[in-house]
Chain A
Amino acid sequence: MTLLDFDCVTLSNVSHAYGRRYALKQVSLTCKSGEILGVFGPNGAGKSTFLTLLSTLLDPSSGEIRYGEVAPGVPGAALRARIGLLGHDLHLYPELSARENLEFFARLYGVNDLYQTVDSALKRSGIVDRGHEPISKFSRGMRQRVAIERALMHRPRLVLLDEPFTGLDDVAMRSLSVRLRELRLDGVIIVIATHDLDFSAGFIDRAAILKSGKLVTIETAANKLRSSYEAHIYGGA
């Protein structure tokens, strides 16, 4: 398969409405290769819609999203092969083992070195010994680690993570942040929607702050992230 590739994702005046309610209004920004973009905002700010639109699962009501020079819908599967999505729900089958889950999705993506990739994913998620056990027997943190590996297994160019730190302990959180930094060095575009301002400030490059579907600011200074967030969300800035 010839892989489609792109070095940036550009949103131009993107809006999305569920019925009459706008979840996202006139958002314009560009995420570049080798960048980690944090998306912050209170519940209902439009973070998940933002990620779903980038994942191509949802079409914007208006505006345009371009992946490099390519608009979504045109290349279809070739574009989807370059996107890794971790949703708020984990996208894993609780009845199947961690290995079976990873093998199923690796096969669906047509990963060539299947067993090597799955072994490596199990190792990274720290459950090599329990790879044969059903996911339903795992703690939330263990499931989260498997889900993260599932989203990254096919080496996507664009990684979309919705609350990736949920359920992770301190060690796993640090390990994930290291992994994200490695991906950034490989030129991956990473977009993270999270509520964890303080932890993510340590590794994101820019922060997009959403409020009621609107992009209120893009913060580049990590040390100003919290104050900027509080000013825009609570302070009416």
Chain B
Amino acid sequence: MLKAPESHLSTPGFFRVVCLMVMKDLAVETRSKEIVYTTIFFAVSCMLVFAFGFVQEGREIDHVAAGILWVTVTFAGTLALGRTFERERQNETLRAILIAPVDRPAIYVGKFVVLLVLMAAVEVIVVPLVSLMFQVPIFEHSILLVLLLITGTAGFLAVGTLFAAMLVRVKSRGVLLPVVLYPMTIPVIIAGVRGTALLFQPEADLAMAQAWIGMLVFFDTVFITLALWVFEPLMKE
């Protein structure tokens, strides 16, 4: 064995790697604007289709606004998940990142944070659109609504980021991602829809909405912990 050379490397810590991944992905997205534009366009189109389908004479049918909001968020999220990892696959940059001497779960967290930022941009446009199309209040209990959106989106993306990374080398990944993702995230989607519907109804049930937020925090904790635990072994080729 050779004597170890004098170190010219200071391996970055966990949060440093997360920051590097986030800054790199945001820089790439700023140049291409591919994911944010396509995801927003898709989300708005989806919302409009639902709005024309479920609104009759200016009135929505049976309080569907919350459901449509979350269906739009999950569909748009699936698109963003697929494209984010497709970008890493095209030039095999994921391999270059995986071979770097960094904590691999930090790569997962970096991708997760970037996707959260992208989905926040989508929701900033979609939520007011829901309010406009379905005449639902979004400012009355805005803090709870924001908390529901953050925790719900985080739960969905926690699982989605893991699955999208796992499927990045699978040929039929475009089909497989929603097939494996939606059944796993049903509890998150139900909690998001129920909690949001409670805030959108004429007399908001704040206590129950908070309970759903609590449930989403629990799901997020479980999903993120599991993802951090399994990410490294799952990323072996």
Contact = CB atoms under 8 A, between A and B. Distances in A.
Report if A and B associate in a common complex: yes
Interface of A: 1-7, 33, 52, 55-59, 68-69, 77-78, 80-81, 83, 85, 87-96, 100, 104-105, 107-113, 134, 150, 154-155, 157, 187
A195 B27 CA distance: 36
Given A52-B237, A93-B24, A110-B10, A5 B100 contact: no
Interface residues of B, number: 33
Contact of A1 (B11, B95, B96, B97): B11
B99 A56 contact: yes
16 contacts: A1-B7, A6-B2, A7-B2, A33-B2, A57-B95, A57-B99, A68-B1, A87-B92, A96-B31, A108-B17, A108-B100, A109-B101, A110-B12, A110-B101, A112-B7, A134-B31
Contacts of B7: 1-3, 112
Interface in B1-23: 1-5, 7-12, 17, 20
Contacts of A68: 1-2
B101 A91 contact: no
A104 B9 contact: no
Contact of A91 (B5, B8, B12, B91): B91
A150 B10 contact: no
Interface string B76-118: 0000000000000011110111111111000000000000000
Contact of A85 (B4, B8, B12, B96): B96
Given A5-B4, A89-B91, A154 B98 contact: no
A121 to B, nearest CB: 14
B236 interface: yes
A132 B105 CA distance: 31
Nearest to B31: A95
Contact of A4 (B4, B20, B92, B103): B4
Nearest to B3: A5
B8 A112 contact: yes
A80 B90 CA distance: 22
A104 B107 CA distance: 13
Given A78-B101, A83-B99, 16 more contacts: A1-B7, A1-B11, A3-B5, A5-B3, A5-B4, A6-B1, A7-B2, A58-B237, A59-B236, A68-B2, A77-B101, A80-B101, A93-B24, A96-B31, A100-B27, A150-B96
B16 to A, nearest CB: 8
B121 interface: no
Contacts of A81: 9, 11, 101
A45 to B, nearest CB: 18
A92 B9 contact: no
> Nearest 9 A-B pairs (CB), nearest first?
A91-B96, A81-B101, A89-B92, A77-B101, A95-B31, A110-B10, A108-B100, A110-B11, A5-B2
